[in-house]
């Protein structure tokens, strides 16, 4: 018998490779590399890896206010006394919160939708935590809501829906600035972005 790429000499190895392959962006080759790497680790390290994965999935919680991932009922951002509670930034995902936090520029709170309105995927407004956002704006003295959703059709639909709901509450509604990225060449910037960056030009501030 010859062992093909898909048939290993060990079912245990085959299982490990198949499971690793289910991770995003991991092909059979990387999965095999991961599996064989496990053989070089002490068994306790491999057990720690397995436990961390299962524990994370089974014990994960979401903040009861902003829906950010959290180990506690209220996430560290929502419970921090140093954050500006008059400002809520609405984002699609947990990763978006992390990206904005990494800039260390933003000091307000968040509201994670966990998705966007997408009739094609059967996701309507009632499937997203929009009521809880409106509730927060109404009852927590929020002055401004920043919409930081994607510029896809679904993102814009969601932003528009939120805009219509929020404007009745008399809160200031803003969107993040779009334009040519710092360090980007005009030559390689898409036409829509470049066009908008000219329309939305700002007074020049010399450094």
Among 37, 143, 164, 172, indicate the residue that binds its own copies (CB under 8 A): 37
Under the criterion CB under 8 A, does residue 169 sit at the interface with its own copies? no
Residue 127 and residue 122: Cα distance in Å, rounded?
A: 9
Q: How far is the CB of 98 from its own copies (least distance, A)?
A: 7
- Burial of residue 77, with CB atoms counted within 10 A of its CB: 0-12 exposed, 13-18 middle, 19 or more buried: buried
Within residues 39-78, the interface with its own copies by CB under 8 A covers 39, 41, 43, 45-61, 63, 68-71, 75-77
Q: How far apart are CA 201 and CA 203, in angstroms?
A: 7
Please tell me the distance from the alpha carbon of residue 146 to that of residue 105, in angstroms, as a whole number.
14
CB distance 67 to 131 below 8 Å: no
Query: Binding its own copies by CB under 8 A: which of 27, 73, 80, 135?
Result: 80
Query: What's the min distance (Å) between Cβ of 34 and its own copies?
Result: 5
Give the interface segment with its own copies, choosing from 95-103, 119-127, 143-151, 156-164 (CB under 8 A): 95-103
**Contact in structure between 129 and 114 (CB atoms under 8 Å):** yes
β-strands 144-147, 109-112: how paired?
unpaired
The footprint of its own copies (CB under 8 A) covers 1-5, 8-13, 15-16, 18-20, 22-26, 30, 32-39, 41, 43, 45-61, 63, 68-71, 75-77, 80, 82-83, 94-95, 97-98, 101-102, 104, 107
């Amino acid at each position: 018998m010859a062992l093909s790429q898909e048939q290993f000499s060990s079912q245990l190895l085959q299982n490990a490779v198949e499971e690793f392959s289910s991770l995003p962006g991991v092909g059979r080759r990387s999965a095999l590399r991961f599996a064989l790497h496990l053989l070089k680790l002490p068994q306790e390290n491999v057990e720690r890896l397995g436990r961390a994965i299962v524990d994370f999935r089974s014990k994960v919680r979401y903040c009861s206010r902003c829906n950010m991932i959290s180990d506690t009922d209220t996430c560290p951002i929502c419970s921090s006394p140093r954050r500006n509670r008059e400002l809520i930034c609405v984002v699609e995902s947990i990763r978006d919160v992390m990206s904005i936090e990494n800039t260390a520029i933003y000091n307000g709170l968040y509201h994670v939708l966990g998705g966007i309105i997408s009739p094609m995927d059967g996701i309507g407004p009632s499937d997203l935590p929009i009521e809880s956002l409106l509730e927060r704006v109404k009852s927590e003295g929020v002055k401004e809501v920043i919409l930081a959703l994607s510029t896809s059709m679904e993102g814009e639909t969601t932003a528009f829906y939120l805009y219509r709901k929020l404007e009745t509450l008399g809160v200031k509604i803003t969107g993040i600035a779009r334009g040519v990225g710092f360090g980007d060449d005009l030559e390689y910037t898409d036409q829509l972005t470049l066009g908008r960056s000219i329309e939305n030009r700002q007074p020049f501030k010399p450094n």
